[in-house]
Amino acid sequence: MSARLLGQKSYELTNHLGNVMAVVSDKVVEIEDRNATYVASVRPP
């Protein structure tokens, strides 16, 4: 059995020319929205 650590991977999103347009990580950042009853797990821009 293997363990997986969060925050260790990142993915590059590229266009058809191979240029990196964004980098996505598996790191979880919690942001509390005071107007909602849930906690979103997204990274702010």
- What confidence tens digit (pLDDT) does each residue in 24-44 have? 888 877 766 666 655 555 555
pTM of the model: 0.48
pLDDT band of residue 14 (cuts 50, 70, 90) is very high
What is the 3-class SS of 2-25, one letter each residue? CCCCCCCCEEEEECCCCCEEEEEE
Q: What confidence score (pLDDT) does residue 42 get? A: 56
